[in-house]
Structure 1
Amino acid sequence: MKTTRLTALAAIAVAASLSLTACNGDDSADASAKGSGSSSSSSDGGSSSAGSDDAAKPGGGGAEAGSGSEAGSGQGKGTKDEAGAGSSSKTGGGKTTFCKTADLAIDAADAAPDETEGRINITMINRGSTTCSATGFAGVDIKDEDNTSNPVERGQAQPRITTLKPGDAAVFNLSYTNDTSGKSLASPTNIIVTPPNETHSVTLDWPTDASDIKGAYTDVQVYPTHTTN
């Protein structure tokens, strides 16, 4: 009888011990699961939350605004460069171009200062709508009555800047020695003029009151243009 009671008590004690162990195991597992869950939540949630918060908060916007201002700065530079190119393009366009033959009214007149020196002034008036340059030597040929054309050589002189606004005039002259013998071998009829830096020519009449040329046409010289102001 005692043995049976002791055995029953022992069995109850073992069962109680097992039950207590199981309870403790469950509690530990729950605590571990809770700890693990909160750690995972903190890690994922914190990371995710920080990412979305940074993007949504003004701080994130400020960074974007910063890159925006860098882009703006880039655009500013681009605009500046374009403006520079524009102003450069305007400066290049603003440079004075050479006068076109079609825009010049050209005439020749006797301007001999005395009986020994012959001089013919050739005037070019800018009848165009823009300012142009007539700087340099004009090309000149003298046509003789025998239908030959003779080029005129350049005189020893340095060109002067000759800029013509609409309506302004430039002058250059032909110079030679007068032949007072009445036996000149030159019989000029026309002056063929090509303005400086141009390829188109105009043909003018030789002034009827101009004196005779002494020697040959190679003795005539052309001088550079200058303004009449």
Structure 2
Amino acid sequence: MKHTRIAAFAALGLAAALSLTACNGDDSGADASSQGAATSNSSSSSSSSSSGGGSEAGQGPSGSGQDSKGGADATNGGGTSGGTKVTSCKTKDLAIDAQDAAPDEKTGRIDITMVNRGSTTCSATGFPGVDIKDADGTSSSTGRGQAQPRVTTLKPGDAAVFNLAYDIDDSGESMASPTHLLVTPPNETHTVTLKWPAGAGAIKGIAADVQVYPTHTTK
């Protein structure tokens, strides 16, 4: 009887030990599974954040071609009229002249007007090319003013104007002695030669210090 009780207690102890071991094994497996899921979620979140950062890094303003001084310019497009594409104005169809329009004794300004003498509507949108010819026979390009081109569409008889702006040298020692303006309309390669306007003030600095601004309509 005594041996039977001892054996029974031993059996119960063994069963309890086995049950405890099984419980510990299940908890360990659950913990490992939970840790694995957490690691997977963390990696997925990190990957998503990195992808979003790369996309944002790729955004930003693109550069604009403002260095070209010529009349033909990729940034100067044609226009539209009534939904129809309008081609650029041709130099041969434009009547062009220059006049002194200085607002005061310190600021020089020359207005250059282009009238569409052709039979069709055309676009004069953009920066013209302007070189200044000096008394010694050399010519130099002007710079560009900080302004955005405006859509400038000309029907037959319509006029567009653009300006040259500079500081006037009143010292009598100007390094420039301009005699002519060489003007190339936007998106054109043919140039017209105009006389430097009578009465226009002396240029302070050199031709590159004179700034040309984009065309706009006179209406």
When normalised by structure 2's length, the TM-score is 0.62
Q: What is the rounded CA distance, in whole Å, between the counterparts of 1:140 and 1:212 in structure 2? A: 17
Aligned partner of 1:153 in structure 2 is 143
1:102 aligned to which of 70, 92, 117: 92
Post-superposition shift, 1:225?
Answer: 0.2
Post-superposition shift, 1:94?
Answer: 3.4
Deviations 1:83-113 (A, max 9, x none): xxxxxxxx9x931110000000000000001
Aligned partner of 2:152 in structure 1 is 162
Paired residue secondary structure (1:203):
strand
Within the alignment, does 1:191 sit opposite 2:181 as a pair? yes
Identity rate, percent? 73
1:111 aligned to which of 78, 101, 105: 101
What is the Cα-based RMSD across aligned positions, in Å? 1.3
Q: What is the rounded CA distance, in whole Å, between the counterparts of 1:166 and 1:188 in structure 2? A: 32
Paired residue secondary structure (1:95):
strand
Aligned partner of 1:201 in structure 2 is 191
Letter in 2 for 1:210: A
| Structure richer in helix, relative to its length | 1
Q: What is the rounded CA distance, in whole Å, between the counterparts of 1:157 and 1:109 in structure 2? A: 21
Aligned partner of 1:54 in structure 2 is none
Deviations 1:39-74 (A, max 9, x none): xxxxxxxxxxxxxxxxxxxxxxxxxxxxxxxxxxxx
| 1:1-229 equivalence runs, <5 A | 94-229=84-219
Higher relative contact order, chain-length normalized (CA < 8 Å, sep 6+): 2
Q: What is the rounded CA distance, in whole Å, between the counterparts of 1:216 and 1:141 in structure 2? A: 12
Q: What is the rounded CA distance, in whole Å, between the counterparts of 2:186 and 2:113 in structure 1? A: 13
Aligned partner of 1:4 in structure 2 is none
Query: How many pairs are equivalent?
Result: 138
Deviations 1:101-146 (A, max 9, x none): 0000000000001111000000000000000000000001000010
Letter in 2 for 1:103: D
Paired residue secondary structure (1:98):
coil
Structure 2 residues without counterparts, runs of 5 or longer? 1-80
State which structure, 1 or 2, has the greater radius of gyration over its C-alpha atoms. 1
Letter in 1 for 2:156: P
Aligned partner of 1:53 in structure 2 is none
Post-superposition shift, 1:158?
Answer: 0.2
Q: What is the rounded CA distance, in whole Å, between the counterparts of 1:169 and 1:226 in structure 2? A: 9
